[in-house]
Chain A
Amino acid sequence: MTPKERVLGLLKKEKIDRVPCFSGMGNVTVEGMKKYNIKFAEVHKNAEDMAKLAASTYKLYGYECAVVPFDLCLEAEALGSEINWYAHVEDNILYPTIKTKLVKAGDEVNIPDDLEERGRLPMIKEVIGLLKDDIGDEVPIGSYVLGPFTLAGQIMDLNELLKISFKRPDDVNRILTGLVDVATRVAKLEKEAGADYITIREMGAPSDVISPRMFKTLVQPHLIKTIEGIEAPRILHICGNTNPIVELMNECGADAISVDQKNDLVQTRQKIGDDTILLGNLDPYNVLVQGTVQDVENAVKDVIEKGVNGIWPGCDIWPDVPPENMKALVEATEKYGKLS
C-alpha cells in the first residue's frame, strides 16, 4: 500500500496493512531545511520553499504525509492581524505569532467577503497544488484550521476572552458563530486545492484552561458546526489535559480524534469504545527530541498497545529532532504496527 492508501484507508475505516506513521500537524525538520537551504523564518511566505520543505520529511524519512502550513496564524492574518515572522532571529527557530490583537474582546469580528483572497490563503492553495504535483499520488497531503475558540483567542486578548466566556457567554457564542464560517471556508479552500484530510486544532480549550462545563456549553457546539461544514476526513485535535472532555470530543462528529501525551489512552479507550479512530499521545519533545532511539521505539510500541490507530505525535514535531529518532519512529511503526 502507498502511504496515501494507508492513511486515507485508516480515516475511512477500511482494511489496511499496518498503522500509518503520519500527522496532521507540523512535522518539518532542521534536516529538511538543510537539504534545501531554507530558513524557517522565511519559508512561511515562499510557496515553492514551503512545498519543498513540507515534502522533505517524507523524502528523508518515509514519514507518511506532507502538511501545510507550518504556523498557526493563517486565519488571523487573513482577517487582518499583523504577524511577527521573527526574520531577525538568526540562530533560533521561532514560529510566527500575532503582533497585535485585531479586535477588543467581545467586539464583533468583521469577516471579509473576499477572505479567500487575503493574507497567505491564495499562497496556501498554490503550495498544496505544488505538493500534489510532487508527491500527491503516493503521499497524502494534510492541512489544518484552528477551532473557533482558539481562533478567537488569536484575534482578541486571551485574558479578556476567557473572562467574558464566563461573564457574557452570549457575546462569545455570537463571535464563535462567525468564526465557524472562517474555519469552514479556510478548510474548503485547502480541500479544493487538494488537501486529503483536515485537522481542526482547538488547542485553546483543554481542561487545563477551561472547565469541561464551559467546553460543553461554549466550545463543543461550535466544533460540531465546524466539523459538519468540512468535507471528510476530519481529525479533531486538542492538546493538554483532555481526559475530562474526551467523550465530548468524540461527540463532535470528526472522523478521528487526536490527543497529546497528557491523555490517559487506556481510560480514553474505555470511555469512547473501539469504534473511534484515536491518534496522538506520542510525546513530540520528551521522546522524539530528548529521547534515544530505544525510547522512540518503546513509545511507538506502547501507544499501539494502548490503542491508538496511527503513529501520530501529540503536537508539532520540534524541527530539531535528531534524524536517527525520525528514522526510528517510522521503522518502529513498520515493526509494531502490522495489522492482519
Chain B
Amino acid sequence: MSEDKKKELLEELKEGVINYDEERVKKAAEEWIKNGFDANEGIFEGLAAGMEVVGDLFEKNEYFVPEVLMCADALYAGLDILRPHVKIDESKERLKGEVVIGTVEGDVHDIGKNIVKLMFETAGFTVHDLGKDVPLEKFVEEQMRTDSDIVALSAMMTTTMVGMKKVVEKIKEKNPNVLILLGGAPLSEDIAKKYGADGYAPDASNALSEALRMVSTLREMKKKGEI
C-alpha cells in the first residue's frame, strides 16, 4: 500500500514539474512528508526526474525558455518543502562537490546560469552563485575562498564570451587543478578548448552530466595521488 502511494506521489512530483504546475508539486511534496517518505528520494526520483524530462523536451524544441523557467519554479516549490527534511548525514553523503558559478562581466543574462545552478543544487552540489556581470577577479577569489572543485562560467553574447579566456587563465594560474566548465549560446566545444577550459556544455542537462564527469575524474586523480 505504502509502495503504491510512494509511486503515485513520485509520479505527481515528476508530472507537476513537467507540466509547470506549482500547486500540484506542493501538494504532492506535502503528502510525501506526511507519509514519512525519504525527502532525498522525493527530490531525486520525483523532482529531478521531472526536470530531466524537461531538459529533453527543451532539446527537442518542444519546450522553450519560458516553459523551462516555469518548470524550474515548480521544482523550487517542491524543493522548499522537501529540503528541510533531508537528513543531514545523508545529505553529506550525497554531496557531489562544490561549484562556483556566475555570468562573466559585461553580461547581464542569467537565465541559463540559473537553470544550471538549479540542476547542480538538485543533484547535491554545493553551489556558490556569484550572480551576473561578475568581474574576473571575483571568480578567482571565490574559488580560493571556497576551495571549489569546479568554476562554471556563462556568457550569452559573443561580446562577453571573449572575456572568458582571461578568467580561465587567471583561475588556472592560481590553482591549476580547478576544473572549468563553460556554457552559453555563443560557445562551442572548440572555443571552450581554445580558452583552456576543461568542459563545455551546450545546455543545462549537459552541464550537469559534464560536471559529474569532471568531478569523478578529479576524485580519481586525487585518489591516485596525481594531484
User: Interface residues of B, CB < 8 Å — how many?
Assistant: 32
Q: Is the CB of A84 within 8 A of B64?
A: no
Whether a CB of chain A sits under 8 angstroms from the CB of B216 is no
**Which chain A residues (214-266) contact chain B, with CB distance < 8 Å?**
214, 240, 244
Q: Does B70 contact A (CB under 8 A)?
A: yes
Is B159 positioned at the interface, with any CB of A under 8 Å from its CB?
yes
Cβ of B194 < 8 Å from any Cβ of A?
yes
Among A92, A207, A289, the residue within 8 A (CB) of B64 is A207
CB distance from A241 to the nearest CB of B (A): 9
Q: Is B64 within 8 A of A211, CB to CB?
A: yes
> B162: which A residues are within 8 A, CB to CB?
93, 285, 289, 318, 320
Q: Which of A56-64, A161-169, A186-194 lies at the binding interface?
A: A161-169
Is A315 in contact with B133, judged by CB distance below 8 angstroms? no
Bound state CA distance, A95 and B157, in angstroms? 10
| A203 vs chain B, min Cβ distance (A) | 9
A97 in the interface, Cβ–Cβ < 8 Å? yes
Within 8 A of A (CB), among B13-49: none
Is B212 at the interface (CB under 8 A from chain A)?
no
Which residues on A sit within 8 Å (CB–CB) of B160? 94-95
For the complex, would chain A's binding face be called helix, strand, loop or mixed by DSSP majority?
loop
Contacts of A95 in B (CB 8 A): 106, 157, 159-160
Q: Which residues of A contact B214 (CB under 8 A)?
A: none
Pair B185/A210 contact, Cβ less than 8 Å: no
Name the segment of B108-116, B119-127, B139-147 touching the other chain.
Answer: B108-116
User: A290 to chain B: which residues have CB within 8 Å?
Assistant: 191, 194
B65 and A210 form a contact (CB under 8 A) = yes
Docked pose: A289 CA to B191 CA in angstroms: 12
The CA of A78 and the CA of B188, in the complex, are separated in Å by 36
CB of A67 to closest CB in B, whole Å = 15
Query: Does B134 count as interface, using CB distance less than 8 angstroms?
Result: no
Contact A210 B106 (CB under 8 A): no
Quick check: is A286 within 8 A (CB to CB) of the other chain? Answer: yes
Additional 10 contacts, C-beta under 8 A, given A92-B166, A97-B106, A318-B159:
A95-B106, A98-B108, A158-B111, A159-B69, A208-B64, A209-B65, A210-B64, A211-B66, A286-B190, A315-B158
